Structure 1
Amino acid sequence: MSDALEQVAFDIETTGFDVDDVVTVVGFALPLGARVFCQTAERTCDGVEDAVQDRVDEHVIASIHDSEALLLEAVSEFVKMRLREDDVLLVAFNGETWQGGFDVPFLRTRFAEHSFDWPFVDIPYADLFPVVQKLFNTTVDGEPQSSLTAAYNLLCDGNYDALDPFEDSAEAVTAFEDGRVTDVVLHNVADVLRTAALGRVAERYCSRSDFSVKSLTPTSHG
């Protein structure tokens, strides 16, 4: 992992785990704050951007989109304009590992569903989950703690927990169904900032070779 690579953490929220579920929020943690994209399923949700910024100390830019398709198009444009031209390392917590992961496979399916081009071209990716699980002791009362929130609380300061309106990520599904878009966005912001914090800890205490960096560029690109 080159010293020139700047970590950009990301995380998504969805309506569930099935193949026909959809993306509701995609968030990125940048050096100076967070960039979050949220869809509303064509519902009116006024004031989300201001409500989120009022709760978060870091600078947050949140944009609201009527549908998943419009959200994914906005994410693609952001990746093209902000990430492809910079020396960045995209990171997630269990976003995609050799045993599975959630965020990247889910996004691939949704981009394919809309026949959109895959946006993460020429951007290296590393998963923080195996780094944290293998190279840090996260055992409590004899049980390894494997969730993002647990790892963050054990290895970081825990300050971002106050942002999160949910005790469990599954609550984000019900909240979106109920139209509580602001809460879903706040949960996503908390998670991307937690992921970014774990990334900083991993950089501080682990070697470059401990990060399994891969390309997300598809074979047929170009």
Structure 2
Amino acid sequence: MTQLTQRAFDIETTGFNASDAVTVVGVERDLGYQLFAQTASHPTGDIATAVQDTTDEHVRVATYRTEAKLLTAVATYVREQLSPVDVLLVAYNGETWQGGFDLPFLRTRLAAHGIAWPFVDVPYADLLPLIQRLFNTTVDGDADADLVTAYDVLCDGDAGAYDPFDESSEAVTAFETGHYTDVVMHNLADILRTEALSTLAQRYCSKSDFDLKSLTPTIDE
């Protein structure tokens, strides 16, 4: 695992239904973060500048009017920037043996637009089961291991200062009302949380504790 470069990953959506849409996709990259944001029909403003003015992190934000254009751009980025190099894609409840959210949702939306699955030759590990098994995140008797709680208990960082929301569900309303910068900042905060937890796990857990899987499809288009 020391030969693989970590890449934290997270998405935002308009809900949990199969017909809902992806609104933001964020990926950790060398010396910063790449975010893809959908802006629908509202005026976009200068989201990239607003984000950069809010954080000291080096963030690139690309905006798209439709989900299809966003997903096409994400697929191109993955094929050009992730697949050719030795990276380990990590997410928090992105996809586990019990289900997960990000990757199953992304598969459905890519299929809906006829966009080929881009994560070819990309190994993946989910942090949720690892954190649940190997760390204690109990607070006041409540053994909750959601992303925010795990980060707050285990990591000493300021990701929460970048998050404009108390609950992830607020990102749906923010998107619907055109507050795209807030949705992007929430996504960045979750990527920072995921990155920090992955780094922590790599420092305190063995390679065998990470349940790596290949994301290469049976039929590669």
- TM-score bracket for this pair, using the shorter chain length: over 0.9
Q: Distance in 2 between matches of 1:131 and 1:29?
A: 20
Offset of 1:43 from its aligned partner? Answer: 2.4
Q: Distance in 1 between matches of 2:3 and 2:214?
A: 17
Q: Distance in 1 between matches of 2:167 and 2:37?
A: 19
Matched residue type, 1:216: L
Matched residue type, 1:73: T
Other-structure match for 1:123: 122
Where does 1:5-16 land on structure 2 (aligned, <5 Å)? 5-16=4-15
Matched residue type, 2:192: L
TM-score after normalising by structure 1? 0.98
Could you tell which deviates more after superposition, 24-33 or 90-99? 24-33
Other-structure match for 2:164: 165
Stretches of 4+ moved more than 3 A in 1? none
Offset of 1:5 from its aligned partner? Answer: 0.2
Could you tell which deviates more after superposition, 34-43 or 122-131? 34-43
Unaligned runs of 5+ residues in structure 2 are none
Offset of 1:31 from its aligned partner? Answer: 3.8
Could you tell which deviates more after superposition, 66-75 or 152-161? 152-161
Other-structure match for 2:69: 70
Other-structure match for 2:149: 150
Where does 1:179-194 land on structure 2 (aligned, <5 Å)? 179-194=178-193
Offset of 1:146 from its aligned partner? Answer: 1.8
TM-score after normalising by structure 2? 0.98
Matched residue type, 2:90: V
Q: How far does the alpha carbon of each residue in 1:17-52 deviate from its partner, in whole angstroms, 9 at most, with x for none?
A: 011100000001224111000011132211100000
Matched residue type, 2:40: A
Q: Distance in 1 between matches of 2:83 and 2:54?
A: 30
Where does 1:6-155 land on structure 2 (aligned, <5 Å)? 6-155=5-154
